[in-house]
Amino acid sequence: MKSLIWKSEFNTGNEAIDSQHKRLVELFNKLYESIENKVDKEEIISYLNGFDSYANFHFQIEEEKLKRLPENVYITHKKEHDKFKTITHNVKNEIFNKGKHSSLFEMVLYLNDWILNHITHEDIRHLKNDE
Ligand SMILES: [Fe+2]
Ligand SMILES: [Fe+2]
């Protein structure tokens, strides 16, 4: 896997959301590189925490906007964000408990797919050109 590259297809048209997504991709890449370079466990954890807390900040902003949409849309979208939170939580446990790199790669690969799918499907559909 290579680092995530920002593409124009990721744009929702909402400037704030788009710049947050760009930042999220940057932070993901830092995390990915730290795992690839097999740096210390503590260092990986610090990248993971940075990525995780920025993602949570971003989800809160999106969820505020999504409250204006029908409830089922809001709930489904929020569930996706919650799924992401579960994955990052599991990654943290994996690092703390086992410190294994092999399973970490699998999880990070999953996070990579989640970001791509979520932005290009859910976020673009629900937040496109939203003010
Ligand atoms: Fe998003
Ligand atoms: Fe989202």
CA 58 to ligand 1 center in whole angstroms: 7
- Whether the pLDDT of residue 131 is over 60: the answer is no
Q: What is the pLDDT of residue 61?
A: 96
- Whether the pLDDT of residue 3 is over 80: the answer is no
Grade residue 6 by pLDDT with cuts at 50, 70 and 90: confident
- 110 occurs within a structural domain: yes
- 2 occurs within a structural domain: no
Question: Taking CA 2 as the corner, what is the angle to CA 62 and CA 93, rounded to the nearest 5 degrees?
Answer: 60
- 58 occurs within a structural domain: yes
* Other beta carbons within 10 Å of 122: 17
Q: Which ligand is nearest to the CA of 19?
A: 1
CA 18 to ligand 2 center in whole angstroms: 11
Residue with token string 């680092």? 3
- For 37-47, the pLDDT digits (tens) are 877 888 888 99
- For 59-101, the pLDDT digits (tens) are 999 999 999 999 999 999 999 999 999 988 888 887 777 656 6
- 54 occurs within a structural domain: yes
- 4 occurs within a structural domain: no
CA 98 to ligand 1 center in whole angstroms: 30
- 7 occurs within a structural domain: no
- 3 occurs within a structural domain: no
How many domains, in total, are found in the chain?
A: 1
Q: Which two tokens stand for residue 53?
A: 């807390």
- 65 occurs within a structural domain: yes
How much is the pTM? 0.88
Q: Select the more confidently predicted residue: 118 or 108.
A: 118
Q: Which ligand is nearest to the CA of 69?
A: 2
CA 126 to ligand 1 center in whole angstroms: 10
Q: Are 129 and 12 in contact (CB under 8 A)?
A: yes
In this structure, what CATH number is given to the domain that contains residue 28?
1.20.120.50
CA 77 to ligand 2 center in whole angstroms: 6
Q: Which ligand is nearest to the CA of 122?
A: 2
Domain extent, residue 91, equals 13-127
